[in-house]
Structure 1
Amino acid sequence: MRVLFLLFAILPIIEIALLVQVGDMIGGWNTIAIVILTAFAGAYFVRREGFNTIQTAQQKMQRNEIPGRELVEGLMLVIAGVLLVTPGFVTDFLGLLLVVPISRHLIAAQVAKRMALRVINPASFTQQGSSSDDANPFRQATRDENGDIIEGQYTDRTENDSDHRLK
């Protein structure tokens, strides 16, 4: 909750104050030009790094590996794109931290570690509002006397075949 307060209340005030100070030092039009240039440069770098991340994720999937870190990095690149397009120097700095591969890898490793601690066991889910055992995707499969799992669907055609033979 505090992070959202900082993000939506204090950060814009800091951005405006910094833009005004830089505008006083180098001029208003130069400040606007810098903000526009950082937006275009940020969009370029986010796009380039995004393609690299997608390619790495595809390679991992071809090796039957889960691209967990790449998914985190992709989300970070989306956030970086929003930060870099948002006018301001603080948001540009934060966006650049998320775009640069070295810092992005470090931040993604920390986020992935925190996410791994919060993984929910799928068996803990319960099917609410349904009494049918077939509706529960996490139910235990039935086993025969040898311990083998035998499941499937069938159609009894003995009645249909005997009807055709009598005619």
Structure 2
Amino acid sequence: MWILLVFLAVPILEIALFVQIGAQFGVIGTLAEVFATAAIALVLMRLEPHRNAHDVRAALDRDASPASPMAHSALRMIAAVLLLLPGFFTDTLGVLLLLPFVRMLVLAQLFKKLRAAHARDEVVIIEGEYEHRPDPESPPAPRLDDPEKRD
């Protein structure tokens, strides 16, 4: 349900910010900001796979887990997508996600929620017995040790 609220609230917030900030920047300034952040986003998207490969390779060379570099890379790619979208709010979120300490805070919160969700999961074991009963209507399976079936 909350995702629907986000999809409804973000465009309304972006329009309000375009009206407020766009009045201060003017049309040319607002369009320049939109195109500049989109250009930066495209550059980031093109460079991120190479940076990710380098970071993962460096982590593996140190015998460390590549999970952290991959998570940071995913957040940097999300930041680039947010920068690509036109709007001041999404640009602000994108710039914030490019900062390493903000990514660390986001990942810490994400792992905290994942650990809590994992701790809530309880394994349920249902004990029982079963018996295999062949279907009486199906033909019997051929036996491999049957001398009549040998070539």
TM-score bin (small chain): 0.5 to 0.7
How many residue pairs get aligned? The number is 123
**CA 1:100–1:48 in structure 2 vs 1: closer, same or farther (change >3 Å)?**
farther
**Does structure 1 conserve the Cα–Cα contact (< 8 Å) formed by 2:52 and 2:69?**
yes
C-alpha distance after superposition, 1:55-114 (max 9, x if no partner): 222122234432122222122122111110000000001111111122112222332343
Q: Give me the TM-score of the superposition, normalised by structure 1.
A: 0.60
Give 3-state SS (helix, strand or coil) of 2:32's partner: helix
Root mean square deviation, CA, Å: 2.8
Give distance in 2, aligned partners of 1:51 and 1:67: 15
Is structure 2 residue 53 aligned with structure 1 residue 70? no
Query: Aligned-pair distance for 1:30?
Result: 1.5
Query: Aligned-pair distance for 1:17?
Result: 1.5
Greater RCO between the two (CA within 8 Å, min separation 6)?
A: 2
Gaps of 5+ in 2: 124-151
Gaps of 5+ in 1: 125-167
Counterpart of 1:35? 34
Paired amino acid for 1:11? V
Structure 1 residue ranges (4+ consecutive) displaced by more than 3 angstroms after TM superposition: 42-54, 112-120
Query: Aligned-pair distance for 1:48?
Result: 5.2
Give distance in 2, aligned partners of 1:37 and 1:12: 20
**Does structure 2 conserve the Cα–Cα contact (< 8 Å) formed by 1:60 and 1:67?**
yes
Counterpart of 1:54? 53
**Does structure 1 conserve the Cα–Cα contact (< 8 Å) formed by 2:79 and 2:93?**
yes
Counterpart of 2:129? none
Give distance in 1, aligned partners of 2:35 and 2:56: 31
Counterpart of 2:132? none
**Does structure 2 conserve the Cα–Cα contact (< 8 Å) formed by 1:80 and 1:95?**
yes
**Does structure 1 conserve the Cα–Cα contact (< 8 Å) formed by 2:41 and 2:81?**
no
| Residue correspondence of structure 1 range 93-108 to structure 2 within 5 A | 93-108=92-107
